[in-house]
């Protein structure tokens, strides 16, 4: 005789007497300092739609519009189509950086990107979260820092408050919830260092230094 299958536990939310884990009707959106007047933010949303995310605008125009709204952009920075930036006035990008297609810089707090950094397609940098202990779902924002020579591979994610040390690598689809060690390759969810990044010198690099 076959054993009868065990019934799956049923959660009856209608008769759960516990208090709710969070009350979104109590959330206070004014907790966030948006950094600019509402009309400036509205203008930015229009400019982002027409220029930054557009596949027909040029790299120089995307850089110009970002700086027009307060971003600090270094020399020889490449910004591909489809990039999204929450608040350009909280963005700083160093020299010789690549920002790939579909990158989302969700910078409720500052995002600072050093020189010679590569952020590949579809990467997500998130500076905001919520206090899961707070019934009001309190907003938490923390800045993100990428030091020189950092590579965030495609579809990777960097969480609030993370600092990536010089030369750090975050591999394909990995999620960084803690700081990334310098010159280490990080992989997984959450990302952990798996091996050292060994950099091969070149004659061109020596001549240009």
| The predicted structure's pLDDT at residue 147 | 98
| The predicted structure's pLDDT at residue 32 | 85
| The predicted structure's pLDDT at residue 9 | 56
Domain-located, residue 1: no
Walk across the sheet containing 78-79 and list its strands.
78-79, 98-99, 118-119, 151-152, 169-170, 184-187, 192-196
Domain-located, residue 16: no
Q: 186: domain range?
A: 35-208
Question: What does residue 195 show for φ and ψ, rounded to 5 degrees?
Answer: -170, 165
Domain-located, residue 23: no
Domain-located, residue 191: yes
Domain-located, residue 114: yes
| The predicted structure's pLDDT at residue 113 | 98
Domain-located, residue 59: yes
* CA 100 – CA 121 distance, rounded (Å): 5
Domain-located, residue 175: yes
Query: Structurally, how many domains does the chain consist of?
Result: 1
What is the enclosing helix (H) or strand (E) of 176? strand 175-176
Contact 168/150 with Cβ under 8 angstroms? yes
Domain-located, residue 20: no
* pTM summary value: 0.87
Per-position pLDDT tens, the chain of length 209: 455 555 555 555 555 667 788 899 898 877 788 999 999 999 999 999 999 998 888 999 999 999 999 999 999 999 999 999 999 999 999 999 999 999 999 999 999 999 999 999 999 999 999 999 999 999 999 999 999 999 999 999 999 999 999 999 999 999 999 999 999 999 999 999 999 999 988 766 655 65
């Amino acid at each position: 005789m076959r054993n009868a299958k065990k019934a799956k536990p049923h959660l009856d939310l209608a008769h759960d007497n516990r208090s709710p884990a969070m009350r979104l009707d109590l959330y206070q959106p004014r907790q966030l300092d948006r950094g600019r007047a509402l009309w400036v933010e509205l203008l930015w949303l229009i400019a982002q739609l027409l220029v930054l995310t557009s596949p027909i605008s040029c790299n120089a125009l995307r850089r110009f519009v970002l700086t027009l709204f307060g971003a600090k952009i270094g020399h020889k920075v490449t910004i591909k189509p489809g990039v999204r930036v929450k608040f350009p006035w909280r963005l700083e990008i160093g020299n010789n950086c690549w920002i790939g297609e579909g990158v989302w810089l969700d910078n409720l707090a500052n995002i600072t990107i050093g020189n010679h950094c590569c952020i590949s397609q579809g990467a997500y940098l998130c500076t905001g979260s919520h206090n899961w202990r707070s019934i009001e779902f309190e907003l938490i924002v923390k800045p993100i820092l990428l030091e020189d020579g950092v590579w965030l591979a495609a579809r990777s994610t960097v969480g609030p408050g993370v600092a990536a040390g010089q030369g750090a690598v975050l591999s394909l689809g990995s999620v960084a919830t803690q700081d990334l060690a310098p010159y280490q390759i990080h992989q997984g969810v959450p990302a952990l260092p798996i091996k050292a990044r060994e950099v091969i010198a070149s004659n061109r690099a020596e001549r240009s230094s």
